[in-house]
Amino acid sequence: MASTEMFPESRYRKTEGLGVWEHRGKVAIVGLGNSPTSRRWDGTLETSLGAWTMLAAQKALDEAGITVDDVDGVIACDKGMGDDWGGDASQGRGYFEAPYDSEDGLSGVSAHWLVKNMGLKNVKMTYHAPGCLSTALVAAAQAVGDGEAHTVLVVRGTGNMPGRYHQTPGNTTGGNGQWTNPWGWQLIPQIAFGFDQYCRTYGKNHDMMAPFILNQRRNGSMFPEGFYYQNRPDDLQITAEDYLASRWICKPMNMNDCDLPIQTAGAFLFTTAERAKDMKKKPVYVLNHVTQRGVVRSSLETMAETEEFSAHIARKCYEGSGLTASEVDVFNPYDGFTLFTQWFLEGFGWHGVGKGEALDFYAGDIRVEGPHPFSSSGGNNGNGRTRWWGHYDTVQQLRGEAGDRQVQIKHETGISGAFTPGHSDWLVLGTSPD
């Protein structure tokens, strides 16, 4: 059976002091594609992640005006985000006929699966990148820059099977879980704890998040590719009272602070700046890419560590692109939990926002048509959880093709990334290669 290697760890840009990225402006994004969206997979092959990933990939190729034969590389984030088909909810159900006779194509899509099923006969490079499409995107930037491939499809299906996923049964716990599971510590209490520390330190409170959440939903109402736009437009009209009335998941995090797991697939097409000139879409150039893999001192990430991680990401983004904070037009950091987005806003110092100032900034004019169009994508809170809407929107904004979401300020550069301050990958993009 075919297989695909992980993109080598050594090729991610993780540290400060690397200088301007050696391929700055020499790699471009020339195609975007997104499949339809749904809350959960309905079990039909037409809406499987495999089928939807092929659909998204074809759209990205169509945008660029090229064919499957022009593609010579595929990088996939090959696992979805929920449980797999054999998980809790689907006990006893078997697989389908080939090519759907394993998890591949159902709960995730590998690079080799896509190559085979889309007939990408000229592909000479495949890689996987774990965890987040952002990781695959930065890998593609580096691979194209290095000349390992010239036209690369980057794909992920998110996947959401029926039922509650990641439930942890049993009375014993080993491995890393021995330190956390007896108390129920994991990502959600970490984020809630961090936000509580933030409020305690800076004298803020959870109610102050409402303007940001409402604006994310508003931006989602102008994002035709998004889940809510397509499936639940009423959920985009929530009021501050609705937001604050939703049930606690882990206080001070409520249900509306969490992005909704959905079923969808996305594709981004990368090529060289040289080849981009002959393609249909206006190229959006990659000015830098950054990877963050923070190491914590003890059992959890403290607020001091979170703030330092966020500032560290920003310094790396700025160093490798040569941009300064005031030169960043579009800014789409991950919001899926909304309670960590303030770390990015303050760490990057976008529009002069300093430590402890984000929640006050949210109360100002952050609409896309206003002077501070923060998170113009509407993020994952406004569009459902993919972790790629920020990248998608940034490309559309820089093309000037974001429709009703088009920002009215200058839109020549942008930064987007996911997932957390401790663990994330970032793209710095520009309309000019210079």
Partner 1 sequence: MGKMSPVPDEVSKPFWDACNEGKLIVQNCAGCKGNDGKDWLQHPPQAACYKCGTTENLTWKEMNGRGKIHGYSTMYDSRIRSLQEDQPFIIAVIELEDAPEIKMFSHLPGTPVDDDVPVGGTVQVEFQDTLGTEQKVAEWRVVS
Q: Using CB under 8 A as the criterion, which residues of the chain lie in contact with partner 1 when the complex forms?
A: 166-175, 177-186, 188-189, 192-193, 196-197, 200, 247-253, 295, 297-300, 302-303
Q: What would the DSSP string read from start to end of 146-158?
A: TTS-SEEEEEEE-
Cα separation, 267 vs 49, in Å, equals 12
Instruction: Specify the residue, 9 or 97, whose C-beta has the smaller distance to partner 1.
Output: 9
Instruction: Specify the residue, 8 or 184, whose C-beta has the smaller distance to partner 1.
Output: 184
Pair 111, 56: CB distance under 8 Å: no
Rounded to the nearest whole angstrom, what is the least distance from the CB of residue 381 to partner 1 in the complex?
18
Rounded to the nearest whole angstrom, what is the least distance from the CB of residue 175 to partner 1 in the complex?
8
Rounded to the nearest whole angstrom, what is the least distance from the CB of residue 295 to partner 1 in the complex?
8
Rounded to the nearest whole angstrom, what is the least distance from the CB of residue 198 to partner 1 in the complex?
10
Instruction: Specify the residue, 80 or 252, whose C-beta has the smaller distance to partner 1.
Output: 252
- Distances 319 to 133, 256, 324, 365 between C-alpha atoms, Å: 23, 35, 8, 29
Pair 415, 426: CB distance under 8 Å: yes
Q: What is the enclosing helix (H) or strand (E) of 19?
A: none
Instruction: Specify the residue, 34 or 254, whose C-beta has the smaller distance to partner 1.
Output: 254
Cα separation, 417 vs 179, in Å, equals 29
Pair 259, 335: CB distance under 8 Å: yes
Rounded to the nearest whole angstrom, what is the least distance from the CB of residue 197 to partner 1 in the complex?
5
Rounded to the nearest whole angstrom, what is the least distance from the CB of residue 171 to partner 1 in the complex?
3
Instruction: Specify the residue, 9 or 183, whose C-beta has the smaller distance to partner 1.
Output: 183
Pair 209, 255: CB distance under 8 Å: no
Residue 39 burial (C-beta neighbours within 10 Å; 0-12, 13-18, 19+): middle
Instruction: Specify the residue, 45 or 179, whose C-beta has the smaller distance to partner 1.
Output: 179
